[in-house]
Amino acid sequence: MSTVDTAERRPRILIPARFSTSASALRYGAEVTSRNLVEGVWAAGGEPLMVHPHAPGGVADPDEVAARLEVADGVLLPGGGDLAAHWTGQDPHPTLYDVDEEQDAFDLAVARIALERGIPLLAICRGLQVVNAALGGTVVQDMDTEYGEGRHHRHRVHATAVAPDSALAAVLGEKLDVSCYHHQCLATLGTGLRVIARASDDVVEAVELEDPRGWFLGVQWHPEDTWAENDAQLGVLRALVDASR
């Protein structure tokens, strides 16, 4: 793990919070993010900034969101609950969970603005699906229903193959094991996305943009799960921080 010069200002990595119905010691609903995730961003040299997802009634003001992103050197769209199906023009599936229209609208606005302005962007799990939806793509609503019982990737570590001609291969190599937690995955790709990694069962595990305005990577797995013991996964977070300097 590299030592970060504490005299150098850490790149500010903006992370939209996740709504939670409760948290220890709080009397109201909470806004949270994964401790593993923020500690991983810190270990990679970044300054994690959790921000309030403001999109009342499921409508985000693009100008307001853009103004709030001005403080960010980079953006990380984290995992979380499912997107409401209407964002991808699909019918809702009974297995959808933790859907929040305000969360969705804010994340989608963040994704669009970051991509349009070339702000370095790392999208993890749900975050990848948000980017795909923002670019006109769709998701498999439930992998067990679509592919057969037991095909979801919840609590699963599996082998992944990375395209050798991708920037990701330079960070992770062409073969690696990744930690996953998801029951949905990408179906139709959004405009401009290119698959650069697949699981052994052919599920899309990572994408890049064919013609990005700035640095972008989307991964279906959770690098924050294993960064402390796996330097390659820390490398995913470090790539975002380095691109944000």
Whether the predicted pLDDT of 4 surpasses 80: no
Within a domain: residue 97?
Answer: yes
Residues 6+ apart with CB under 8 A from 191: 135, 136, 137
Whether the predicted pLDDT of 107 surpasses 80: yes
50 exposure class (CB count in 10 Å sphere: 0-12, 13-18, 19+): middle
The residue-averaged pLDDT of 33-58 equals: 98
Q: What is the pLDDT of residues 144-195, one digit of tens each?
A: 999 998 889 999 999 999 999 999 998 889 999 999 999 999 999 999 999 9
Q: What is the pLDDT of residues 192-223, one digit of tens each?
A: 999 999 999 999 999 999 999 999 999 999 99
Among all chains, which residue has been given the structure tokens 């970044």? 46
pLDDT band (50, 70, 90) for residue 29: very high
What CA–CA distances, in Å, run from 212 to 4, 5, 131, 169, 244? 28, 30, 13, 18, 15
Residues 6+ apart with CB under 8 A from 105: 55, 58, 59, 60
CATH code where residue 136 lies:
3.40.50.880
Within a domain: residue 4?
Answer: no
DSSP string across 84-132: PGGGGT-PPPTT--S--HHHHHHHHHHHHHHHHHT--EEEETHHHHHHH
Within a domain: residue 184?
Answer: yes
Q: Could you give the residue numbers annotated as active site? A: 125, 222, 224
| Structural domain boundaries enclosing 165 | 12-243
Within a domain: residue 214?
Answer: yes
Within a domain: residue 5?
Answer: no
Predicted pLDDT of residue 93: 96
Percent of the chain residues past pLDDT 90, beyond the cut: 91
Is the whole-model pTM more than 0.85?
yes
What total number of domains does the chain contain?
Answer: 1
The rounded distance, in Å, linking the Cα atoms of 60 and 108 is 9
Whether the predicted pLDDT of 1 surpasses 60: no
Within a domain: residue 162?
Answer: yes
Query: What's the length of the chain?
Result: 245
Within a domain: residue 116?
Answer: yes
Within a domain: residue 1?
Answer: no
